[in-house]
Amino acid sequence: MSVRPVYIIAGVGNGTGTGAATARLFAKAGYRVALVARNADHLSNTAKDIVAAGGEAAAFPVKEYNYSAVLDVFNTIKQHKWSSSQEPAEIRGAVWNAGAGVFKNFLDVSEEELQQSIDANITAAFAFSRGAILAFRENPIDNLGKRGTIIFTGATASIRGNVLTSAFAAGKFALRALSQSLAKEFGKENIHAIIDGGILTDRSAERRIGEAREEFKTNQDIRLSPESIAQSALHMRSGERTLGEAEKEMPSGWLCSITGPKSKHV
């Protein structure tokens, strides 16, 4: 890679989940990683950890996951001067891992909580997609036949609703539809996979009690790890233009790739 590409990862949390794992893996693979999240302290700590391990990372906190804040952060990232050189930031990938989870009985969900799900899972995701696609359009096609890749992390709730997930599933269903629509409109090679399962994070473990929590932590057959999702994301970015069918078998979330022209539609 003559110009070290930038990968934007939104939704880093406290540094223990999928977003942070993806950032570490892409940094190790030679990418510059731009980290986006609401908690500035957590974001800064994750960036420092990546730099200490020999990677390039920078933190770009946003106050809220709303349309204007998320779209504006792309301009900030483009203008950022990376420490290793004065090369312009060439954004080659973007991961939307942010979201809002509301797990309550339907009649207990407040209007404010519903709005939080809409903002994080739909409105901000629209802005993120717009910023990423406009950035990709500035790129020449690389040796993989791609201009860039956009990835959305999903959940079981993006496939089907359940008790306690009415607000969460409504947002995740919409996000899944967005990814499919973007793939149809912009991608000439579209990679779309379904990831159906829980991911081990501090928060997901805390929602479980007693033995159920311990089993979720230790039993790899009943949940996914952030590292496995990160590996899928890296594999997808570096895959050949004809890659498609194999990706559909990945046991992890659902993904959408925006790529360059003249490649197979999957």
| Choice between 138 and 221, residue whose per-residue pLDDT is larger | 138
Would you state the pLDDT for residue 10?
96
Taking only the tens place, the pLDDT of each residue in 23-75 is 999 999 999 999 999 999 999 999 999 999 999 999 999 999 999 999 999 99
| Choice between 159 and 126, residue whose per-residue pLDDT is larger | 126
CATH class of 6-258: alpha beta
Phi, psi angles (nearest 5°) of residue 157: -65, -15
Taking only the tens place, the pLDDT of each residue in 142-188 is 776 778 888 888 877 888 899 999 999 999 999 988 888 887 777 65
| Choice between 258 and 130, residue whose per-residue pLDDT is larger | 130
- CA 72/CA 33 separation, integer angstroms: 17
Mean of all residue pLDDT scores within the chain = 77
**86 and 149 in contact (C-beta within 8 Å)?**
no
Residue reference for tokens 């939704």: 11
* Domain coordinates in residue numbering, the chain: 6-258
Phi, psi angles (nearest 5°) of residue 223: -155, 170
Contacts of 252 (CB under 8 A, 6+ apart): 193, 195, 197, 224, 228, 229, 232
Q: How far is CA 266 from CA 49, 53, 141, 153, 188, in A?
A: 37, 37, 19, 19, 8
